[in-house]
Amino acid sequence: MEKVIDIQHLSKSFGAHEVLKDIDFSVDKGEVICIIGSSGSGKSTLLRCINLLEKPSGGKVTYKGKNILDNKHDIYAYRTKLGMVFQQFNLFNNHNVLSNCMVGQLTVLKRSKEEAKAVAMKYLKVVGMEQYVNAKPRQLSGGQKQRVAIARALSMEPDVMLFDEPTSALDPEMVGEVLKVMKELAKSGLTMLVVTHEMGFAKEVSNRVVFMDKGVIAEEGNPEQIFNNPTESRTREFLSRVLNAK
Amino acid sequence: MKLGWLKEIIVNNWPMFIRGAGVTLYISIIGTILGSFIGLLVGIVRTIPMPERGIKRIILKIVNGILSAYIEFFRGTPMIVQAMVIYYGSAQAFHLDMNRAVAAIFIVSINTGAYMSEIVRGGIVSIDKGQFEAAAAIGMNHIKTMLHVVLPQVIRNILPATGNEFVINIKDTSVLNVISVSELYFQTKTVAGNNFRYFESFFVACVLYFIMTFTVTRILRAFERKLDGPDNYTMMGNQMQV
């Protein structure tokens, strides 16, 4: 398996507060990895350290063998290789649906207008939002916004997709439509890293589940093992808490 | 008020009033536009994330220092005094004979620029952090983020404040009479000096100032609505359940 992202001894502190402690973690091409854990366990921070929205305090992050923390590394080019989907969607408010999916292609990848439009339309179809090209973000529902945000990230044709709690800000009714799109993407062989509270999704779709607790990776393994046979007591506690609450 | 006098002043002096109003409008339009550009530029520079170390950090610190000095100085002194200092100062120190209209536009622009810089910075700071993060996540640098994502939203949001600056400029160009720019106040003073009818002459000026500011406010309001775009969108292709 080809390693796309490799993280060694990663740490991150906000002031005196240590959010990530000595994380070792890697992502293979084509893997779908779900990161689960309680709020404040460092899941989102780990994801944000990967595309450098947060600057790691220590350790090493390599992408296809290149150290991305090197000062000479072009972080703007690197970020185009990672698609990010946010909890709060963060669609560009001044652009309509189509333009949201085109602006990155035009300004960063320097694609032609025709090509950018064709690519954007292709991915808007994938997420089922091709009819809404003229709509502004404020006119869409949460689920629709999130699907456009996924299309926007896909339009950059990244190697890895990062999902930061993509359904946590949605009404229960709308969670389904977003998860359905994500399942399709997982089936297509895209490399995905998903921070989520949707245990059903993690169980069904992922190849590997990572359980984080208090800034460390407490346990990782395939979904059957994590959900049916966790070795760590804190994994068991967490799972019984979230699964019984449902 | 003697209506007869009012009529006579208008009939005899209307070209002067119109010319004065024209100069006032001209200086305030150009001044507001240039000032807004200055404000946008300064706003962009002042929101560049500070690098943690290195030569870039030092340069950015120096530039930011100069820019805040500029803003503080021009916001902190009256425009009437700046006009005197700049116009007569440049003549005395550099033997520079500035064209009065150019000097006027220069003074109004840098003054507006100082105010607009803070308005723009406030506008940028008020944009949701998620917009910056989303732009960063697809690989945009600061300039691209500003041009394609942030500033279009900022410009819409600060339009009311910009309109305010414009209205203030229309009124405040009157202080430029101290360097004998032939704007509306200066022209009115001349008219009144000829006929000794101060009240009637300045009443005409008053009405003209109000017509200008009121029209400008209405136009900007219409422009705001146009920028907001239609409230509805049209579906493309067939209606299909997704």
Tokens of B5: 């006098």
User: Taking CB atoms and an 8 Å cutoff, what residues of chain B touch A177?
Assistant: 242
Taking CA atoms, what residue in A is nearest to B237? A131
Question: Of all helices (H) and strands (E), which one includes residue B159?
Answer: helix B151-172
- Count of positions (residues) in chain B: 242
Q: In sequence order, what are the beta bridge partners of A10?
A: A23
pLDDT on residue A18: 92
pLDDT on residue B242: 44
Cβ pair A20, A11 in contact under 8 A: yes
pLDDT on residue A72: 77
The single-letter code of the amino acid at B191 is V
Tokens of A135: 């709509």
To probe the interface with A, which of B143, B238, B242 has the most A CB atoms within 10 Å? B242
Q: How many CB pairs under 8 A join A and B?
A: 88
Please state the ipTM of this predicted complex.
0.92
Q: Look at the pTM and tell me if it is higher than 0.80.
A: yes
Tell me which residue of A66, A70, A63 sits closest to A160, measured CA to CA: A63
pLDDT in tens, B26-58: 999 999 999 999 999 999 999 998 887 788 899
pLDDT in tens, B157-176: 999 999 999 999 999 999 99
Tell me which residue of A79, A29, A92 sits closest to A49, measured CA to CA: A79
pLDDT in tens, A8-60: 999 999 988 999 999 999 999 999 999 999 988 999 999 999 999 999 999 99
| 8-state DSSP, A93 | T
pLDDT in tens, A171-194: 988 999 999 999 999 999 999 999
pLDDT on residue B3: 77
Question: Of all helices (H) and strands (E), which one includes residue B73?
Answer: helix B55-76
Give the minimum alpha-carbon distance from A177 to chain B in angstroms, rounded to a whole number: 8
CB count within 10 Å of CB B168 equals 18
The single-letter code of the amino acid at B204 is V
Phi-psi group of A212: left, alpha or beta (phi > 0 → left; psi -120 to 50 → alpha; rest → beta): beta
User: Taking CB atoms and an 8 Å cutoff, what residues of chain A touch B239?
Assistant: 131
CB contact under 8 A, B134 and A53: no
Residue B116 has pLDDT above 80, yes or no: yes
Report the distance separating Cα B29 and Cα B167, nearest Å: 10
Share of chain A above pLDDT 70, in %: 99
